[in-house]
Amino acid sequence: MNYDKLPRGFSLRHTLKANNRAITRIAWSPDGQALASASYDQTVRLWDIEKGEQKRKPFQHSGSVFAVTISPDGRSAISASKSALKIWDLSGESRPRTLHGHTDYIYAVAVTPDSHTAVSGAYDQTIRIWDLTSDLETHTLAGHSGRINSIVITPDGGRAISCAGDNQIKVWDLVNGQLETTLSGHKSEVLTLTMAPDGRLVASASQDGEVRLWKLPCGETCAILSHHTKAVTGISFSGDGRLLASKSADGNVRLWRHPDWQPIARLSEPHSDFAFAGLAFNPVSQVLATLGEEDRLVRIWDLDLTTWFN
Read off the DSSP letter of residue 283.
S
User: 104 — alpha (psi -120 to 50), left (phi > 0) or beta?
Assistant: beta
Calculate Rg over the CA atoms of the chain: 18
pLDDT band at residue 19 under the 50/70/90 scheme = confident
CB burial string 4-42: b at 16+ within 10 A, e below: eeebebbeeebebebbeebbbbbbbbbeebbbbbbbbbb
Residue 4 pLDDT exceeds 60 = no
Read off the DSSP letter of residue 260.
T
Mean confidence (pLDDT) of the chain = 95
Quick count: other Cβ atoms within 10 Å of Cβ 304? 12
Q: How many Å apart are CA 77 and CA 79, to the nearest integer?
A: 7
pLDDT digits (tens, 9 = 90+) for 137-192: 999 999 999 999 999 999 999 999 999 999 999 999 999 999 999 999 999 999 99
* Res 159: pLDDT: 97
HSE at residue 286, side-chain half, CA atoms within 13 A, is 14
Q: How many Å apart are CA 284 and CA 287, to the nearest integer?
A: 8
* Res 217: pLDDT: 87
Q: Are the C-beta atoms of residues 80 and 106 closer than 8 Å to each other?
A: yes
Read off the DSSP letter of residue 103.
S
pLDDT band at residue 120 under the 50/70/90 scheme = very high
Q: For 262-280, what is the mean pLDDT?
A: 88
pLDDT digits (tens, 9 = 90+) for 207-264: 999 999 999 988 999 999 999 999 999 999 999 999 999 999 999 999 999 999 999 9
Cα dihedral value 147, 150, 151, 154, nearest 10:
-140
pLDDT band at residue 271 under the 50/70/90 scheme = confident
Whole-angstrom CA distances from 29 to 32, 46, 61, 151 are 5, 10, 20, 17
* Res 93: pLDDT: 87
Read off the DSSP letter of residue 221.
E
∠ CA(264), CA(289), CA(272), 5° rounding?
Answer: 95
Element (H, E) at 138: strand 136-142
Walk me through the domains of the chain, giving residue ranges and CATH numbers.
3-307 (2.130.10.10)
Tally of residues, the chain: 310
